[in-house]
Structure 1
Amino acid sequence: MTTTTERHIVIGTAGHVDHGKTALIRALTGVETDRLAEEKKRGISIDLGFAPFRLPSGEVAGVVDVPGHERFISNMLAGIGGIDLVLLVIDVGEGVMPQTREHLQILQLLEIPRGIVVLTKCDLAEDDWIDIVEEEIRDEVAGTFLSGAPFCRVSALTGAGLPDLLSTIEATLNILPAKDPAGPLRLPVDRTFSVPGFGTVITGTLLSGTVRPGETVEVQPPGEKCRVREVQVHGRKVEAACAGQRVALNLAGLERSALQRGSVVGTPGIFEQTERIDARLTLLSDAPRPLHFRDPVHLYLGTARVVGVIALLDRDELKPGESAIVQIHLDRPLVAHREDRYIVRSYSPMTTIGGGKVLDPAPLKHRRFRAEIMQGLAELESGEKAFLLQKLSALGVARIKDLEQLSGLGRERIGDHLEKLRDEGRIMPLAEQWVDAETLASWRHRLIEETGRFHDANPLAPGIPHATLRGVLPGNLAPKGFDQLLTELISEGELAGQGEWLKRPDFVPTPSAEQAREIEQIEAAYREAGFLAKNKQEMLERLGLDPARAETCLTFLFGTGRLVKLNEESFFDEATYALAVKALRVHFATQPTLTLGQFRDTLGSARKPMQALLEHFDALKYTMRKGDERVAWKLPTEP
């Protein structure tokens, strides 16, 4: 069984075609990574090859053998991401060649953490010659991540130098940090095939998270959920595969035709496809020409390859050797996350010209030459905390799951950042969500101001309805968060609660003299009608009152409790309603059930107002309807 305490390492190769990468892996692992008939016929690697590699310590690392030919650079790029250690393989008979340089540029742009320079075919050269070649190579890698890397001289044919290479690999791997398996599952697909009797199988390097048989995963694209039938690591079934391992997944319920190299298998609900990204782009110093606004490029991210259009935001051209924050518009969606590294190649002829890092995988479309936009993007680039804070500000309020989806960080890591930001007073929790402090302050002010405006516009209303005040704030604020905010404002004396209404503490509904006369008319009419009160329209017509003017008077009567609203058309005065509640208690003191007809006859009313009254009692949970009868549920106690 795979456990999270193990180290999971992936080693990759790089280098010019026919410099001995595949032969070296065969000598180290005993596995022939050239699996295609054309590869064996032509004697060169065309697609990615994979092998398990048992180290002297007993640990098993995964090996990705990439093709070196210029025509297959896209295949190389699909496999080189996510590796922990690269073996830059150079034939001592030829030295540094064009694909050696291009692969080195790609490795540098992808920020591969460690590397070893492996001089191959040393059995065919004299030591003096090898010394000269090694010196040239050291000059070539100066200023790159390989400037202080170890050099190993080997012969895959005779085995010379392999023990030294093995010990060097192990020593280098020992200083690499362990991967965190607790983040969301993310597995870029680099190969798909079908196995008779089993169905669709995908392979890839697990970048984050853990995957187990029986789990439901989501594949983007096509954006479908499916079940993991089986998990394999290096050809053997496992109960779990963790970040840093080469993994094969047998997926149930997903056709191979729906998959492609570049798809991502992930935790459901976390990953989304995007058609544009904000990114830092660095153009190589030896790029053949500057990049101009809206120039197309081939973009490689993870195992995906798309065409991107470069939107320069603060300049009209990006010169060789320069770096800038850009927005890249993609010709088809892919899955990207913050901090993902990518490579760009010129549209035609295709050659590697630069690369960089994703800053925001789901940005809005930006307008050019805007200082505030560039400042925001610079802040976004400054670190994880700044990214989370900016996303909180943009969203208004967010759950940890929302931030996990946007950032690609694990929940524990996000939680640590949020706690630090709270300690700094920059964000605050609202129930299960988080909001930045400035937004929260503006919301509090808005609720207080809106309540005051409502009082001005509705001077007879007891306050602003809870639902109306809720509509002032964004819809993504959860009800629990809104209730917490109201509770805080009430406890601080900024607002006061009165049933379903909120009001300013000093607000008292005060009718004018004319309104007071109409209020008395309405109340007297309902008091006189008692249980025979008609619907609202008939009652107001009898009084000769304008319905629009009368509405504010009715609101005042409801707020003060002098009228009780059963529904939008039926009302009872306070005393009549109290008699109805008493009659309900009296009835159930001796009877197990109640019908509408019984209550109508008891109160001497009509069917329509009694139906409204009993439905009102049902809503209050005084009674529960069962067919044509009602039974007592939570009867009110006698006042």
Structure 2
Amino acid sequence: MAAEGHFIIGTAGHVDHGKSALIRALTGIETDRLGEEKERGISIELGFAPLDLGGGQVAGVVDVPGHEKFIPQMLSGIAGIDLVLLVIDANEGVMPQTHEHLQIMQLLQLQKGILVLSKCDLVEPDWLDIVEEEVREQVAGTFLEKAPCCRVSSVTGEGLSALMDVVREQLSHVVPRDSGGAVRLPVDRCFSISGFGTVVTGTLTSGQIKTGDTLEILPAAILARVREAQVHDKPAPEVFAGQRVALNLSGVNRDQIPRGSVVGTPGLFRASQRVDVRVQLLEDAPRAIKFRDPVHFHLGTGRSVGQVVLLDRDELVPGDEALVQITLDHPLLVHRGDRFIIRSYSPMITIGGGMVIDAEPQKHKRFRAEVTQRLHDLASGDLGFWLQKLDELEVARVKDLEKQTGTGRQQLLQGLEKLQEAGQVELLAEQWVLADRVRSWKQQFPRIVAEYQQQHHLRHGIPRATLQAQLSKKLAPKGFEVLLQWALAEKLIVLNRDLVATPDWQPQPTSAELKILKQLDDCFRAAGFQVKNNKEVLLSLGFDGLDSEAYFSYLVLEGSLVRLNQESSLHMDSYRQAEQLLVTTFQQQETVTLAEFRDKLGSGRKLTQAILELFDSQKYTRRTGENRVAWQLPRPV
């Protein structure tokens, strides 16, 4: 067995075939808790017990009801088990619920099971051979076709030791669940305990939970804190995927967590009311499913009435399968790859089941070849599904894909690396993007930049932020920077300081604009260190209605002006004088104050402050209190 020892064993079979008695004989636990169960002698609700496997390993056991009226309860318990014990009364043989339970397990694609002939003390050995042969005929072609068969008596203890040996051997082949993924706990019971509060139980299908963790209850979307976790009625500081878990939750009451709710990692999951699925209709289903027929949809511990939308046909006949969309009456937490069961609306009998392909699809139009093809592609495998979701999202971090696909982080990363090696996706900083989209973006760079240049002929290029916004609003700045560097390396574009331009682009001012530019240049040159702020300069020249940013940007990039800050600029000649004065000053003294430098410049305090702050930002100087000291002074020009 795997070292973790986190296994779930479930029972199945017809009512009164000895499932609960078998669990009691193996564990010493009476799983029938309700007075009605004890009075009627049948299981009505799910029962639970720990099974000691030896060597310090304990498996959780789920005892399910066998009566046809309680199939919904059976479905809540059978989902998520690692090993099933199909119990058949040796005296009665295969009965109707034996057959239906077998169909359900087959539709859910359970992998491991043991055939258990119970009440063997009541029949002759020869009769047991006949019953086993009958059972073998019933399970032919199913996952139990080659399953071991054990003959036991819960009364005398006959065969129980041999059964335990077989259980341990079967569990040795079970692949451990993913405790490193997101938390997902389908709730099969919720109750209140005086002095403790709300308690939920279920099988932890993925992830791990610690005392003190904050989790989300879905579909209610309520946060709750784990006050205490238990496994088999014993406190556990941490619980892992594959364990039967009880959580004492604070911040939520019992009425907010009905059966079918899911306790999960906060912010990662959303409940769905529309799902794309591959559905298989049983060969012995009483009739075909027609467009918009209602069905009972069972997934995990949850259930809802669903409306079947056939996409490529008008009816689904018994024994056939199809890709369909199901619209649910109320939301359920659904993941791609989840198995489900459908039962007819009336009478309620199992008619089929299948697998979820997409948990958050768009509403489809019928008889569209592209819709059918897309669903076939999605159903073909995880890599194709991830590519589709990535296409829909445009860009996605791993956590976004976790949420959209219901796949664990480690599995996703391994798959994305394969897709990257195959040249189908690219990683832009922390975001994954389809390779085709990246190529398209790079091709769009010159077009977007050229269009901007045509509209802004006085500019030396397009600002990076503007280019990013026009390219994609979903691409993060770090990812955009990676993409920009790739485009620069391929010489599709060039950088002009912080502006992006097409190769060989030069601004093209008109004669009227050249006249304005000369007036601005002359004004700043003449004013020197007595220059006013930009707005006052414009007013003095009568340019108060001018789109000044384009003109100032042009003069800065042409080397005529230096921007000191958002409000003020200085002519380049004056700025060079200020640099030289700074060098000269520190040749004569170790520190300089703002007032001292103002007097040396013959300027005002505000402009001097702007010049010194620019020097600080360029690391020419470093401020220490009211003084500035030399740092990396400019070299003489």
Common fold: TM-score over 0.5: yes
CA, structure 1 residues 251+572, in 2 after alignment: closer, same or farther (shift >3 Å)? same
Q: What are the superposed Cα offsets for residues 513-532 of structure 1, whole Å, 9 maximum, x if unpaired?
A: 34323321221122223344
* 1:348 aligned partner: 346
Alignment of 1:100 with 2:98, yes or no, is: yes
* Pairing 1:317-332 to 2, within 5 Å after superposition: 317-332=315-330
2:121 and 2:431 map into 1 onto residues whose CA distance is 65
CA distance in structure 2 between the partners assigned to 1:452 and 1:200 by the alignment: 63
Q: Distance in 1 between matches of 2:222 and 2:614?
A: 46
* Separation of aligned partners in 1, 2:284 and 2:482: 58
Give how far 1:568 is off: 5.3
Specify the code of the residue in structure 1 equivalent to 2:408: G
* Superposition deviation, residue 591 in structure 1: 5.7
1:509 equivalent to 2:474? Answer: no
The equivalences for 1:459-498 within 5 A come to 459-498=457-496
- Partners in 2 of 1:186 and 1:102 — Cα distance? 28
1:518–1:550 contact (8 Å) kept in structure 2: no
- In structure 1, what is the Cα distance between the partners aligned to 2:355 and 2:620? 62
Match of 1:413 among 411, 421, 424: 411
Distance (Å, rounded) in 2 between the aligned partners of 1:174 and 1:608:
79
Partner of 2:20: 22
Tell me the distance in 1 between the aligned counterparts of 2:389 and 2:579: 53
| Contact 1:294-1:310 within 8 A present in 2 as well | yes
Of residues 162, 165, 187, the one that matches 1:164 is: 162
Equivalent residue of 1:516, what SS?
helix
Change (3 A) 1:454 1:630: farther
Report 1:218-297 matches (<5 A).
218-297=216-295
Any conservation in 2 of the 1:300–1:343 contact (CA below 8 Å)?
A: yes
Q: 1:35-79: CA deviations, max 9, x gaps?
A: 112211221111100011123666321110011122221111111
Aligned equivalents of 2:8, 2:224: Cα separation in 1 = 27
- Contact 2:67–2:97 at 8 Å: present in 1 too? yes
Letter in 2 for 1:255: N
The count of residues paired between Structure 1 and Structure 2 equals: 633
Q: Secondary structure at the match of 1:116?
A: strand
Q: Determine helix, strand or coil for the equivalent of 2:170.
A: helix
Are positions 1:181 and 2:179 aligned together?
yes
Is this contact kept in 2: 1:531–1:605, CA < 8 A?
yes
Deviations 1:488-515 (A, max 9, x none): 2223322222222111232122333343
Moved more, 549-558 or 313-322: 549-558
In structure 2, C-alpha distance between the alignment counterparts of 1:454 and 1:342, rounded to whole Å? 53
Would you say the 8 A contact 1:4–1:242 is kept in 2? no
* d(CA) in 2 for partners of 1:633, 1:229: 58
| Stretch of structure 1 that moved more, 521-530 or 39-48 | 521-530
Any gaps of 5 or more consecutive residues in structure 1?
none
Is contact 1:461-1:559 (8 Å) kept?
no
Aligned equivalent of 1:370: 368
Alpha-carbon distance in structure 1 between the residues aligned to 2:483 and 2:33: 63
Measure the CA separation in 2 of the matches of 1:161 and 1:456.
88
Structural mapping, 1:469-618, within 5 Å: 469-534=467-532, 536=534, 539-540=537-538, 542-544=540-542, 547-548=545-546, 552-566=550-564, 570-579=568-577, 594=594
Q: Per-residue displacement from partner, 1:233-264 (whole Å, max 9, x unpaired)?
A: 22223343222111222223333332222222
1:201 Cα shift?
A: 2.1
Deviation of the 1:26 alpha carbon: 0.8
Change (3 A) 1:37 1:49: same
Deviation at 1:266, TM superposition (A): 2.2
Conserved? CA contact 2:535–2:544, under 8 Å: no
CA contact (8 A) 2:591 2:630 kept: no
Shift of 1:328: 1.9
Are 2:455 and 1:457 equivalent residues in the alignment? yes
Alpha-carbon distance in structure 2 between the residues aligned to 1:175 and 1:310: 37
User: Normalising by structure 1, what TM-score?
Assistant: 0.90
Q: TM-score under structure 2 normalisation?
A: 0.90
Alpha-carbon deviation of 1:607? 7.3
CA distance in 1, matches of 2:574, 2:347: 89
Superposed displacement of residue 134, structure 1: 3.2
Residues 471 and 145 (structure 1), Cα distance of their counterparts in 2 relative to 1, 3 Å cut: same
- Give the aligned CA root-mean-square deviation in angstroms: 3.0
Instruction: State how far apart, in whole Å, the 1-side matches of 2:410 and 2:627 are.
Output: 50
2:628, 2:72 → 1: CA distance?
74
> Aligned letter for 2:61?
V
Among 134, 141, 152, the alignment partner of 1:136 is: 134
Q: CA deviation at 1:383?
A: 1.5
1:637 to 2:633 alignment:
yes
For residues 564 and 330 of structure 1, do their structure 2 counterparts lie closer, same or farther at Cα, with a shift above 3 Å needed?
farther
In 2, the alpha carbon distance for the partners of 1:181 and 1:544 equals 71
Range with greater deviation from structure 2 (530-539 or 252-261) = 530-539
Q: Which amino acid aligns with 1:292?
A: K
Change (3 A) 1:290 1:593: farther
For the residues of structure 2 that align with 1:34 and 1:129, how far apart are their CA atoms? 30
Residue 87 of structure 1 aligns with an amino acid whose one-letter code is: L
Q: Distance in 2 between matches of 1:394 and 1:586?
A: 62
Match of 1:39 among 30, 37, 40: 37
Q: Distance in 2 between matches of 1:633 and 1:4?
A: 67
Say which SS state the counterpart of residue 461 (structure 1) adopts: coil
- Read off the aligned partner of 2:49 and give its amino acid letter: A
In the TM superposition, residue 13 of structure 1 has moved relative to its aligned partner by: 0.7
* Counterpart AA for 1:638: P
Share of identical aligned residues, percent?
Answer: 53
Alignment of 1:71-220 (within 5 A): 71-220=69-218
Q: How far does residue 553 in structure 1 lie from its aligned partner after superposition? A: 3.4
